[in-house]
Amino acid sequence: MSVDGMPRLVISDWDGTVTKFLLSRLLEHQKRAARLCGLPIAPIVRLEAYERNGGRPYASFDEAVAGFWPNASRMRIKAFALAFCLEELVGAYPAVWGAARALSALRSQGVPLALCTSRDPVTLGVHLAFAGVRPWWFEAIVTGIHRYQKPDPHVLRPIFRKVRVEPERALFVGDTPTDWETACRAGVPFVGVLTGLTSREGFKKCGVPEGRIANTLPEALHRFCG
């Protein structure tokens, strides 16, 4: 798949794409929440190597929790979800340098923007403000409360309902193999960025061509939307 000229829609992931994904911070938030709820932290610690080696990360928060503690009670899982959400609310991640400016500039050129993230709307709102990104820049925002989640291509339906373009005329920028799989299954050209958990080799292992990997979101937008 390739984009012939300027894409008519840019879909971006959030964590690890617009913001730097700091694994150490995420793990610390998860560990604190797990300890508070009496859950073992060993499954959390195993996540880093799995994702850095190009393994498919959990597509949603619910999927991750089910994988971490398959035998935990529903009440304990709900307690963990609340504790983790509070940790994430007060510990927002820094924006990738130039990301907000690049998105704003692209929007000023008339290119519609959309977000597709597994974050919940409340936490996302706080993180948007922290990163200097305005929610009204986006024609559509799909969050973790949507019926479908990545890598199901139906997760992009609300975006394409709002912005009437053919999938092959859009561009999806993300930082994980799940983003890549979502884009492929939806027929959307993809660019992987290295500001998240996935390394260049990890992307290539998943089948992302070398030419479709960029260091950052601003670089990706400059190369494919310039």
The domain spans of the chain are 9-21+93-225, 23-90
Q: Given this model, what pLDDT does residue 43 score?
A: 85
Superfamily of domain 9-21+93-225 in CATH is HAD superfamily/HAD-like (3.40.50.1000)
* Contact indicator for 19, 131 with CB cutoff of 8 Å: yes
Pairing status of strand 9-12 against strand 213-214: unpaired
Average pLDDT value for residue range 105-113: 96
Whole-structure pTM value? 0.86
**H-state helical runs in the chain:** 23-36, 42-45, 47-52, 61-68, 74-90, 99-108, 121-131, 157-162, 177-186, 200-206, 217-225
Position 55 pLDDT exceeds 80: no
pLDDT, averaged across the chain = 90
Per-residue pLDDT band for 106 (boundaries 50, 70, 90) equals very high
Q: Give residue 57's pLDDT band: very low, low, confident or very high (50, 70, 90).
A: low
Of 169, 165, 181, 168, give the one whose Cα is nearest residue 57. Answer: 181
**Confidence band of 111 (pLDDT split at 50, 70, 90):** very high
The closest alpha carbon to 144, from 167, 115, 176, 171, belongs to 115
Gap between the Cα atoms of 20 and 38, Å rounded = 29
